[in-house]
Amino acid sequence: MEQYKIDFIKFMIDSNVLTFGDFTTKSGRKTPFFINAGNYKTGEQLKKLGEFYATAIKENYGDFDILFGPAYKGIPLSVTTAIALNEVGMNVSYCSNRKELKDHGDKGILLGSKLADKQKVLIIEDVTTAGTSIYETMPILKAQADVDVMGLIISVNRMEKGQGEQTALVELEEKFGFKTCAIVTMEEVVDYLYNREIDGQVIIDDNMKKSIEAYYEIYGAK
């Protein structure tokens, strides 16, 4: 596994973003792990987060024009990652959408850069379980301009069923014809953390690993 992936797993744990226990997702799934990107709160954390995204983007995508972060969590992600990309020689613009249409001042639904025909757009998200926000985002983008959405980058691929039997990322690739990738997958997370001490504590022991495996027996993608 690449070093930046290992560093990102440790970073998520240190930031209390990746936790293990008993949780219930919005969709009602009982899950033994939870990813809460809202726990990236400090300037230092956001700077590092943008750098991890930038590394994964440089590794997986070519040149593009706009980094689009769907409201609301995608807004800070697009900003910090655009800054990090600039530090490694990629000067791209950021763009996000508002949840409500603004009718005064800077009118419209977009924040940041405006969109123009033929621009290459990369969407940035934290995690994608069923892909709902992307299905909502694509019509917004296409309503603004005839842009070329070239892909989706997320932090963690949960590797669960999306709307069908495949992962949400595979479903999105087939639906929209773009490339998807994640900084890490949950398989990589489990492989690295299993029976490994982090700050003197084993986070994924035999019992937790069994819980995760049982979860994927039900919700894992084919």
- Region 18-37: what's the mean pLDDT? 88
102 included as an active-site residue: yes
Instruction: Give the domain extent around 51.
Output: 3-219
Collapsing DSSP to helix, strand or coil, 156 comes out as strand
Q: How high does pLDDT run on average in the chain?
A: 92
The active-site residue, picked from 30, 41, 102, 114, is 102
Which is the catalytic residue, given 104, 107, 118, 222?
A: 104
Note the pLDDT of residue 68: 98
Q: How far apart are CA 97 and CA 110, in angstroms?
A: 4
pLDDT per residue as tens digits for the range 45-89 = 999 999 999 999 999 999 999 999 998 889 999 999 999 999 999
The structural domain count of the chain equals 1
Q: Is the pLDDT of residue 222 over 80?
A: no
Q: pTM to 2 decimals? A: 0.93
What integer pLDDT is reported at residue 103 of this predicted model?
A: 56
CATH number, domain with residue 131: 3.40.50.2020
| pLDDT of the residue at 105 | 46
Nearest-angstrom CA–CA distance, 11 and 109: 33
| 210 in catalytic set | no
| Angle of the 186-193 helix axis to the 206-219 helix axis, nearest 10 | 160
